[in-house]
C-alpha cells in the first residue's frame, strides 16, 4: 500500500513544474471563495462589533448609511451637519451619555476627529503613551496611525488642506502629539483625535491672532468701536501653543459651529427607545440604531458575496474539468509506464492508488497553498473597515 503512495510522491517531486502549475490553478480556485468567505466574515464581525458598541446615533436627515458610517468610521463626515449647541439641547432631554463627533477634517491622510473626553471613556480606549487631548492644538493618535506615521508624544502632526484654491480656508495647522492610544482593533486605531475647538479652527470658524489693541496700525484698514477691519497681511496663528491658546476665539454664531453626529449611550433601553421615537417624530434630525443600518449594509455585501460564490462555483467546476482532462491526457501518455508496472506484476489497484495518490497530494498541496494565500491576504489587508474612512 505504502509503495504506491511513495511512488506517487516520487513522481510529483520529479515533475515540479507541472505539479506547481496544477497546485497553483487548483489552489487559486480554492483560495478565491475561501478568502471571500473569511474576509466577509471578518468584515461582518468588525462592523457589527462597533455598531453594537454604539447604541444610537443622531445625525442630519438624509442618507442613513452616510450618517452611521461617518459617526462610526469617520467616513466623509462633511455630509452630515449638526450645530454644536444641539449637544446641550439634546443632552437635556436624553438621559445617558451624549458625545459629539466632528469628523470633517483630515491630517496626513487620516481622519482627524474632534470629540470630547467622554468618547474615549465610552469606547474603552486607553492611552499607551502620553495623555488625552485636553487643550486645543493637542492631538492623540490611534495606534496604527502613530505606527504608520512614525510619530510619538512631542512630535507634530499637520492637518490637510482640502481646498487648495479657496483662500478663505485656513492653512494647515500644526498640532502637538500629546499621546498615542493603545491598539483597539477598530476604526479608532487609524484616526487622530483632537478637541472640538481645534476642528473649528481647522474649518475657519475660529482663529487666533495678536490682540487688536497691540496690532501694528499698518494692518488696521478701518473699523469702529464694534470691531476692526484688519489686513490679510496679518497672518493668523498656524499653531496653537500654550502661549497663544488664550488668543483663539470665534466671531460667529455658535449655531454655525458644525458637528458630524452625536453618539448616544442611553441610561436604559427604555430611555433610548423614547428618545429615538421623539427625535424621529420631530423630524429635524434622525436617530439611528447603527446595528440595524449595518445589517442593512451587510445584506448588500452578502448579496455581492453570493454572486461571487456562484462565480467561484463555475470557476471551480471549469478548473476541476480541466484538471480531469489533464489527468486523462497524462494517463494516455503514461500508458507505457502503467503497462510496465502491470507486466512486472503489480495489480490494477496499485496503478489506481498511484494516480489517486498523485491527485490527493496535488489537492493537499493546493489546499495548503489556498490556506496560506487566504491568511496572507487577510493579514495584508489588516483593517477591513479602513476603506470606510
Cβ of residue 50: shortest distance to another protein, in angstroms?
55
CA dist 168 and 50 (Å) reads 37
Task: Tell me the β-bridge partners of 177.
Answer: 139
Among 211, 345, 379, 380, interactor with another protein by CB under 8 A? 345
Under DSSP, the state recorded for 54 is: -
Cβ of residue 12: shortest distance to another protein, in angstroms?
9
Q: What angle do CA 174, 175, 178 make, to 5 degrees?
A: 155
* C-alpha distances in Å from residue 277, one per residue of 104, 232, 280: 28, 49, 5
Among 226, 243, 343, 379, interactor with another protein by CB under 8 A? 343
Contact between residue 144 and residue 190 where contact means Cβ atoms under 8 Å apart: yes
Report the residue number, 176 or 353, with the smaller CB distance to another protein.
353
Cβ of residue 294: shortest distance to another protein, in angstroms?
55
Contact between residue 189 and residue 142 where contact means Cβ atoms under 8 Å apart: yes
Cβ of residue 6: shortest distance to another protein, in angstroms?
7
Cβ of residue 17: shortest distance to another protein, in angstroms?
13
Among 49, 347, 352, 376, interactor with another protein by CB under 8 A? 347
Cβ of residue 360: shortest distance to another protein, in angstroms?
17
Beta strands 174-181 and 138-141: pairing type?
parallel
Q: Does 117 bind another protein (CB under 8 A)?
A: no
The interface region with another protein, picked from 82-90, 201-209, 234-242, 346-354 by CB under 8 A, is: 346-354
Among 181, 192, 196, 341, interactor with another protein by CB under 8 A? 341
Total chain residues near another protein (CB under 8 A): 20
CA dist 164 and 156 (Å) reads 21
Among 315, 346, 355, 367, interactor with another protein by CB under 8 A? 346
Nearest to 147 by CA among 129, 160, 124, 133: 129
Nearest to 174 by CA among 198, 190, 151: 198
| SS3 assignment, position 168 | coil
Side-chain half-sphere CA neighbours of 2 within 13 A: 0
**Radius of gyration (C-alpha) of the chain in whole angstroms:** 31
* First-last CA distance in the chain: 58
Q: Does 16 bind another protein (CB under 8 A)?
A: no
Report the residue number, 12 or 202, with the smaller CB distance to another protein.
12
Q: Which residue has the cell 480606549?
A: 125
Cβ of residue 363: shortest distance to another protein, in angstroms?
19
Residues 349-368 close enough to bind another protein by CB under 8 A: 350
Q: Does 14 bind another protein (CB under 8 A)?
A: yes
CA dist 105 and 201 (Å) reads 10
Residues 308-337 close enough to bind another protein by CB under 8 A: 336-337
Report the residue number, 217 or 345, with the smaller CB distance to another protein.
345
Report the residue number, 191 or 341, with the smaller CB distance to another protein.
341
CA dist 21 and 298 (Å) reads 36
- List contacts with another protein (CB under 8 A): 3-4, 6-7, 10-11, 14-15, 336-337, 339-347, 350
Amino acid at each position: 500500500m505504502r509503495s504506491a503512495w511513495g511512488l506517487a510522491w516520487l513522481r510529483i517531486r520529479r515533475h515540479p513544474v507541472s505539479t506547481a502549475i496544477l497546485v497553483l490553478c487548483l489552489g487559486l480556485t480554492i483560495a478565491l471563495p475561501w478568502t471571500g468567505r473569511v474576509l466577509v466574515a471578518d468584515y461582518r464581525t468588525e462592523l457589527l462589533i462597533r455598531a453594537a458598541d454604539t447604541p444610537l446615533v443622531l445625525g442630519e436627515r438624509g442618507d442613513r448609511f452616510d450618517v452611521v458610517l461617518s459617526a462610526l468610521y469617520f467616513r466623509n463626515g462633511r455630509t452630515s451637519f449638526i450645530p454644536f449647541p444641539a449637544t446641550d439641547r439634546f443632552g437635556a432631554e436624553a438621559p445617558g451619555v451624549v458625545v459629539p463627533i466632528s469628523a470633517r477634517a483630515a491630517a496626513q491622510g487620516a481622519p482627524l476627529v474632534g470629540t470630547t473626553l467622554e468618547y474615549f471613556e465610552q469606547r474603552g480606549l486607553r492611552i499607551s503613551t502620553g495623555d488625552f487631548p485636553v487643550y486645543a492644538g493637542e492631538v492623540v493618535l490611534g495606534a496604527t496611525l502613530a505606527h504608520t506615521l512614525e510619530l510619538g508624544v512631542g512630535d507634530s502632526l499637520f492637518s490637510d488642506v482640502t481646498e487648495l484654491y479657496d483662500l478663505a480656508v485656513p492653512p494647515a495647522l500644526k498640532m502637538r502629539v500629546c499621546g498615542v492610544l493603545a491598539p483597539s482593533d477598530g476604526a479608532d486605531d487609524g484616526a487622530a483625535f483632537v478637541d472640538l475647538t481645534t476642528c473649528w479652527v481647522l474649518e475657519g470658524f475660529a482663529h487666533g491672532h495678536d490682540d487688536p489693541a497691540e496690532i501694528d496700525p499698518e494692518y488696521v484698514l478701518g473699523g469702529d468701536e464694534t470691531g476692526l477691519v484688519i489686513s490679510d497681511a496679518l497672518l493668523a496663528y498656524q499653531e496653537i501653543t500654550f502661549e497663544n491658546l488664550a488668543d483663539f476665539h470665534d466671531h460667529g454664531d455658535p449655531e454655525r459651529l458644525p458637528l458630524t453626529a452625536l453618539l448616544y449611550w442611553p441610561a436604559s433601553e427604555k430611555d433610548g427607545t423614547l428618545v429615538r421615537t421623539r427625535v424621529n417624530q420631530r423630524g429635524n434630525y434622525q436617530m439611528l440604531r447603527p446595528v440595524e443600518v449595518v445589517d442593512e449594509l451587510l445584506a448588500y455585501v452578502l448579496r455581492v458575496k453570493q454572486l461571487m460564490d456562484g462565480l467561484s462555483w463555475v470557476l471551480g467546476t471549469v478548473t476541476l474539468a480541466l484538471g480531469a482532462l489533464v489527468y486523462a491526457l497524462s494517463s494516455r501518455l503514461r500508458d507505457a509506464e502503467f503497462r510496465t508496472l502491470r507486466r512486472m506484476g503489480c495489480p490494477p489497484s496499485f496503478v489506481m492508488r498511484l494516480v489517486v495518490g498523485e491527485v490527493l497530494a496535488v489537492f493537499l498541496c493546493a489546499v495548503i497553498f489556498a490556506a496560506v494565500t487566504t491568511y496572507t491576504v487577510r493579514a495584508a489587508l489588516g483593517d477591513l473597515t479602513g476603506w470606510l474612512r
